[in-house]
Structure 1
Amino acid sequence: MEFRDLKTQYQKYKNEIDLAVQEVMQSASFIGGKHVNELEQQLAEYVGVKHCITCANGTDALSLVLMAWGVKEGDAVFVPDFTFFSTGEVVSFNGATPVFVDVDETTFNIDTEKLEKAIQKTLAEGKLTPRIVIPVDLFGLPANYKKVERIAKQYNLLVLEDGAQGFGGNIDGKMACSFGNAATTSFFPAKPLGCYGDGGAIFTNDDELAQLLKSIKVHGKGNNKYDNVRIGVNSRLDTMQAAILQIKLRAFIEHELKDVNKAYQRYNQKLNGIVETPIIPDGYYSSFAQYTIKLQSKEQRDGLQAKLKENGIPSMIYYIKPMHKQEAFSNLVFDDNEYEVTNKLCNTVLSLPMHPYIKEENIEAVCNVIQDFLK
């Protein structure tokens, strides 16, 4: 059984993907070109924004926006404590200070009440200047942008949506990666829309920001790549990945997003009353980068993971350590008591096999092991 079955996906679209790759090989256009331009247009149209700027990976996407916004030492950037390392990493990489905020126990996304308290605390301390909040669409579920954007407006903060796991989700029809002042996503192979390597993208309606990002991502270019008007980086989505993503985007829109939500519903039906299953609030739609359950304790969680492994069933723990406990941030001071929910989640969550191609019998097998273990 595959945790995220990329092999079956490839076999289904093998002919189209192989032809797309061969076209790139035959054209010898490996950087830029029509595939990248077409993909950016298709992605922008799907998300519902004016601009999509592709880049080398999801981490770069976040970092590029922070660079464009002039984030610097002394700035505070608010980040959920329960997420992948890169969301906080890019803040420190660009010289600012990440301020970690506990998450909601039900949605796993940033707790908006605690976000406002963290902003107020930072202002009261007077050591850092609040600049940005980076909500994460964890496991495919968009964050509570209605409240996040209200708080950001009140305190004059920019909002950068980290949609690395959220691409395809929506809130009342408004697509993930269309919230905030800018948004990013990742095309890492295991993401809802993944390529066959690394890749990322930035989404925005801000014309000026879009132009600046296009410059920064190619060595700070001006009229051309040999006219360098600012210090930038080298972060481009290669043409091969763009060609592959065009095929996979069509599949994602046509059936994959619907199929992964059908799998979510089947899991929930079979696990109802047995274990704590994901809850999707009214009006929200998840792209289910992960299907994550909660156990009663670390011992129970670890025991279940071992039992699943005995039965040939893969599972993953996202995440084993809170952001505020990562050694890379050991120079920062945090009160562990402010992260009660994240500390608990790191000891009790377990993600099960989840993808658009998972079979009914696979879900049945996973659920039977869980039921037998917990009875």
Structure 2
Amino acid sequence: MQFRDIKAQYQTYKDEIDSVIQEVLLNADFIGGKQVGELEAQLAEYVGVKHCISCANGTEAMTLVMMAWGIKEGDAVFVPDFTFFSTGEIVSFRGATPVFVDVDRETFNLDPVKLEKAIQKTIAEGKLIPRVIIPVDLFGLPANYPEIEKIAEKYKLLILEDGAQGFGGNINGKRACSFGHAATTSFFPAKPLGCYGDGGAVFTNDDDLVHLLKSLKVHGKGDDKYDNVRIGVNSRLDTIQAAILKVKLKAFIEHELEDVNKVYRYYNERLSGVVDIPVIPDGFYSSFAQYTIKLKNKEQRDGLQAKLKEQGIPSMIYYSKPLHKQGAFANLEFDKNDFEVANELSDVVLSLPMHPYLRDEDVNTVCDVIKRYMVRNFV
């Protein structure tokens, strides 16, 4: 059993994927080929924004936006404490200060009430200038943008949606990567829409931002690549990955997103009342980058993971250490008591095998192991 079965996906679309790769090889148009522009147009249309700008990976997508917005030393950027390291890393990379905010226990996402308190505290301290909020669409579920956008408008802050895990999710039909002033996603292979290497993209309706991003991603180019008008980076999505993503995007839209939600519903049927299952609020739709349950404590969680491993069932812990405990952020000042939920989640979460090609019998196998473990050890 695979945690996220990329091999099954490839076997299903092998002919189409092999064909588009061969086309790129025959044309030898490896950088900036027509497939890149075609993919960007298709992604923008699907998400529902004017522009999509592809780049080398999801981390650089966020970095490019930070560069374009002029985020710098003395600025405060508000980041959920329970997420992957890169969301905070890109803030420090610009010399700004990440301000970690605790999350909602049910959704795993940024808690709007705690966000506003963190903003007010930062303003009262007067050491940093609040500039940006980076909500994360964790495990495929969009963050609470209706509330976060109200807070951002109240305090005149920019919103950068980190949709690395959220592509395909929506809130009342408005798709992930269309929220805030800009949004980013990752095409890392295990993501809901993944390529066969690294890749990322920025989504926005801001024409001026697009102009800057297109320059920054190619060494700060002006009229051409030998006219450099600003300091930039080298961050491009190569043509082979774009061609692969075009095939995968079609499959994602046609059936994969719905199929992964069928798996979610079947898991919930089997595990309801056994463990703490994922909560999807009314009006929200998740792309389920991960299916994450919660146990009672670390001992119970670690014991279950060991039992699953004994049976050849893979599982993952996202994330064993919240951002405020990462050594790279040891220089920052904070009150550890502000992260009660993130601290707990790091001890109790466990992600189970989850992908559009997961069979019902595989779900049954996973759930049977979990049920036997819980009955024998905790009833």
TM-score tier (shorter): over 0.9
Could you say which residue in structure 1 is the equivalent of 2:162? 162
Q: 5 Å matches for 1:101-116?
A: 101-116=101-116
SS of residue paired to 1:45: helix
State how far apart, in whole Å, the 1-side matches of 2:311 and 2:33 are: 47
Deviation at 1:340, TM superposition (A): 0.2
Indicate yes or no: 2:272 matched with 1:282. no
Indicate yes or no: 2:23 matched with 1:13. no
State how far apart, in whole Å, the 1-side matches of 2:268 and 2:92 are: 39
State how far apart, in whole Å, the 2-side matches of 1:191 and 1:367 are: 23
Could you say which residue in structure 2 is the equivalent of 1:78? 78
Any stretches of 5+ residues in structure 1 without a counterpart?
none
Could you say which residue in structure 2 is the equivalent of 1:51? 51
Indicate yes or no: 2:164 matched with 1:178. no
Deviation at 1:80, TM superposition (A): 0.1
Q: 5 Å matches for 1:57-96?
A: 57-96=57-96
**Alignment deviations for residues 84-140 of structure 1 (CA, whole Å, 9 cap, x no partner):** 000000000011000000000000000000000000000000000000000000000
Could you say which residue in structure 2 is the equivalent of 1:30? 30
SS of residue paired to 2:177: coil
SS of residue paired to 1:254: helix
**Alignment deviations for residues 273-319 of structure 1 (CA, whole Å, 9 cap, x no partner):** 00000010000000000000000000000000000000000000000
State how far apart, in whole Å, the 1-side matches of 2:322 and 2:191 are: 21
State how far apart, in whole Å, the 2-side matches of 1:125 and 1:152 are: 19
**Alignment deviations for residues 174-205 of structure 1 (CA, whole Å, 9 cap, x no partner):** 00000000000000000000000000000000
SS of residue paired to 1:76: strand
Could you say which residue in structure 2 is the equivalent of 1:206? 206
Could you say which residue in structure 2 is the equivalent of 1:342? 342
Deviation at 1:333, TM superposition (A): 1.3
State how far apart, in whole Å, the 1-side matches of 2:106 and 2:258 are: 23
Indicate yes or no: 2:224 matched with 1:224. yes
State how far apart, in whole Å, the 2-side matches of 1:168 and 1:71 are: 28
Could you say which residue in structure 1 is the equivalent of 2:244? 244
State how far apart, in whole Å, the 1-side matches of 2:136 and 2:322 are: 14
State how far apart, in whole Å, the 2-side matches of 1:50 and 1:33 are: 21
Any stretches of 5+ residues in structure 2 without a counterpart?
none
State how far apart, in whole Å, the 2-side matches of 1:185 and 1:219 are: 21
State how far apart, in whole Å, the 1-side matches of 2:90 and 2:277 are: 31
Deviation at 1:334, TM superposition (A): 1.5
State how far apart, in whole Å, the 2-side matches of 1:146 and 1:360 are: 35
Could you say which residue in structure 1 is the equivalent of 2:310? 310
Q: Quick one: which amino acid aligns to residue 146 of structure 2? A: K
State how far apart, in whole Å, the 2-side matches of 1:34 and 1:170 are: 29
**Alignment deviations for residues 242-266 of structure 1 (CA, whole Å, 9 cap, x no partner):** 0000000000000000000000000
State how far apart, in whole Å, the 1-side matches of 2:309 and 2:135 are: 33
Once superposed, which parts of structure 1, at least 4 consecutive aligned residues long, lie more than 4 Å away?
none
Q: Quick one: which amino acid aligns to residue 11 of structure 1? A: Q
Indicate yes or no: 2:330 matched with 1:330. yes
Once superposed, what is the RMSD of the aligned Cα atoms? Answer: 0.3
Q: Quick one: which amino acid aligns to residue 130 of structure 1? A: P
**Alignment deviations for residues 304-350 of structure 1 (CA, whole Å, 9 cap, x no partner):** 00000000000000000010000000010111100000000000000
State how far apart, in whole Å, the 2-side matches of 1:32 and 1:12 are: 28
Deviation at 1:153, TM superposition (A): 0.5
Could you say which residue in structure 2 is the equivalent of 1:2? 2
Q: Quick one: which amino acid aligns to residue 39 of structure 1? A: L
Could you say which residue in structure 2 is the equivalent of 1:256? 256
SS of residue paired to 2:191: coil
State how far apart, in whole Å, the 1-side matches of 2:266 and 2:191 are: 21
State how far apart, in whole Å, the 1-side matches of 2:106 and 2:225 are: 47
**Alignment deviations for residues 145-199 of structure 1 (CA, whole Å, 9 cap, x no partner):** 0110100000010000000000000000000000000000000000000000000
Q: Quick one: which amino acid aligns to residue 68 of structure 2? A: A
Q: Quick one: which amino acid aligns to residue 202 of structure 1? A: V
State how far apart, in whole Å, the 2-side matches of 1:4 and 1:188 are: 12
Deviation at 1:33, TM superposition (A): 1.7
Residue correspondences, number:
375
Indicate yes or no: 2:8 matched with 1:41. no
State how far apart, in whole Å, the 1-side matches of 2:207 and 2:332 are: 36
State how far apart, in whole Å, the 1-side matches of 2:35 and 2:198 are: 16
SS of residue paired to 1:10: helix
State how far apart, in whole Å, the 2-side matches of 1:94 and 1:234 are: 16
Q: Quick one: which amino acid aligns to residue 56 of structure 1? A: A
SS of residue paired to 1:135: coil
**Alignment deviations for residues 10-69 of structure 1 (CA, whole Å, 9 cap, x no partner):** 000000000000000000000012100000000000000000000000000000000000
SS of residue paired to 2:40: helix
Could you say which residue in structure 1 is the equivalent of 2:296? 296
